[in-house]
Structure 1
Amino acid sequence: MTETSSDPETAMAVRQKRRLARHMPLAIILIAAVLGFLTLRDYISFDTLRDNREALLALRDAQYLLMAGGFLLAYVTIVAFSLPGAAVASVTGGFLFGLAAGTVLNVVAATAGAVLIFLAARAGLGRALAARMDASEGTLGRVKAGLRDNEVSVLFLLRLVPAVPFFVANLLPALVGVKLWNFTWTTALGIIPGALVFTSIGVGVGEVFDRGEAPDLSLLWAPHVIGPLLGLAALAALPMVIRALRGRKGI
């Protein structure tokens, strides 16, 4: 009798432990993000890059592959745990490795970090919310159906519109059941324009430091930069617009 009554309790305890384990990765990321904001924002900065640029260049010249690997690992960590300094890392990539190699390293690292956040969120909150959306026939169900029909376009919009924070663009797709493959390749392609801008700033950052100035990240909002980005965003949204118009006309 005691064994029979304990079986449901044991099963419930096992389910609770599994649920806790699924939420643990995202919880760790959120805790690390808060702690990083409080403790690291004064260390991962352009001042730190300026003060250590000669040592970094010397290490790059002596151990290029080691430096590239260390840079990748550091950047992935910054993105995966939403630590402050992603912009500094992108500029550093251009400063150390030039426009071509720096852009590749920046895109690879940022994409890998984004995928880690996506997987952590999908394992916990994302799984529960996606299941609820699949079971719902109301508003949530319509949102899910609309997202399924326009998944790639929405993902590109999240990457191409500069006003969308990178963390939000990583977290939101996981919470609504986006496919991992679609998230990965749209992230890699969608962040290339912004990566090119930040990396190009890094290529000339040495001269900026020599003038006693700080890198001007407002370049991202300059008309000749924001214009093409918004144009790409409009192209990404075009399939959704066409699909909506066809739906209204019954085509």
Structure 2
Amino acid sequence: MKAAPEAQRRLLDLSELDAGLDRLRHRRRTLPELAEIEEMSKRLAQLATQVIAAETEAGDLSRDQTKAESDVDAVRTRAERDQKRLDSGQVSSPKDLASLQSEIASLHRRQSDLEEVVLEIMERREAVDAQVASLKSERDEVTATLDAAGDRRDAAFAELDKEVAELQGKRSGIDDIPADVLSLYEKLREQSGTGAAMLQGSRCLGCRTSLSIAELNRIRAAGPDEVVRCEECRRILVRTPESGL
């Protein structure tokens, strides 16, 4: 495989641009805002579930309170009616009078018990209402944090995409590399992340391995337009004045 020395050196420019593109893509994948957005999204989903559960409990307690208050009113009405009968003097039989007085006392005890139930429900409802308010407040805070992180992510994406477009434009401008050499470069790049590396002195800057004397002699003997590869990492080795050959 052959390519003019100038075309081979263009592989180093291409490799540098590709490394820059890889760094930008890595930055895009690892933006701190992405982890924050994921964390806030999970918390927001949890809060949504908790708010629904708390509101459901508050609704149940509201219905329980309404029923308990209705029971109190019913018992109170009945006790007041019996008290009026007692006060009217219409009941003259000692037995009936004792029975009526006993019933009124029983109704008062029942009313007292029901009022305790109402108070207990009201206390529970107050606590649940406070919980609902607290959860909604946190939900609003998390939503605001999530929105802000989303804005920062979008701004960072826009800046990174701009840099990517700039590097891709420069990459597209490299059009003097033979197709077969470029195809090999792309294949090697897919395999190891870097398709070409400079030979600096006796060292391949791709794998940082020092080449053997025999390997260096082989490369020295190769024509300047011959495409040579590192014996260790198999990347394309690009010879420059720094190679010292």
Under TM normalisation by the shorter chain, which class is it? under 0.3
Report which of the two has the higher share of helix.
Answer: 1
Report the TM-score when normalising by structure 1. 0.26
Higher Rg of the two aligned structures: 2
Higher relative contact order (CA 8 A, sep 6+): 2
Report which of the two has the higher share of strand.
Answer: 2
